[in-house]
Amino acid sequence: MKIEELIKVKKLIRKKKPIFRRSEGHRSKRLPDNWRKPKGHHSKIRRHKRWAPKMPCIGRRTPAVLRNTDRKGRKLIKINSVNDLKLLGKDSAGIVSKKLSLRSREKIALAAKNYTFINFNPEKILKQVVELKERAKNKKMKKKQERKPEEKKEKPSKTAEKPLKPAKKPEKPKPLVNEVEGGKE
């Protein structure tokens, strides 16, 4: 079968596939409604009762050729570093990991020339980086303006003469002795 035909088959399988919900997941808000395999002894879903909600089974799986492909049939490759870009080709698309830092994303954006991505726009990332650098620069400028360095005192040059020693402090005048207190009259 050609890829276009397989994509049509995949769409049909997806349309027929029911939404698999957790058994009794609708009863409580604290229980998430995503699928968990029922393990109860009396569970009607586990025993495949005709009227009970359906369980996922191996027959509902997408064809092996179309696994990890997008709607156009391109193979999806997860990218965690610049080295992973080498795996991309014309018939594949990249998915950049969400866990990467902005610095790693910037490196990937600079290296990504004519590659196609599903969840990544190199131009947008480069704009973000430029904006962040400008903000940081403006912050530094504001801090410098707030600090305003105090006027620096001039340091004596090495060739200049030594400063003169301060003159001796004038002696304090001796207090006059009160004749009455002094004892002799």
Asked which of 17, 33, 67 is the last residue of a domain, the reply is 67
pTM: 0.56
- Residue 163, domain member (yes or no): no
Number of domains composing the chain: 2
Overall average pLDDT of the 115-123 stretch: 91
**pLDDT tier for residue 8 given thresholds of 50, 70 and 90:** confident
pLDDT value, residue 152: 62
3-state secondary structure of 94: strand
* Domain shared by 131 and 83, yes or no: yes
3-class SS string, 48-92? CCCCCCCCCCHHHCCCHHHCCECCCCCEEEEECCHHHHHHCCCCE
Residues 6+ apart with CB under 8 A from 80: 97, 100
Q: Which of 37, 120, 38 is nearest to 84 (CA)?
A: 120
Expressed as residue numbers, the domain containing 134 is 68-144
Asked which of 39, 67, 95 is the last residue of a domain, the reply is 67
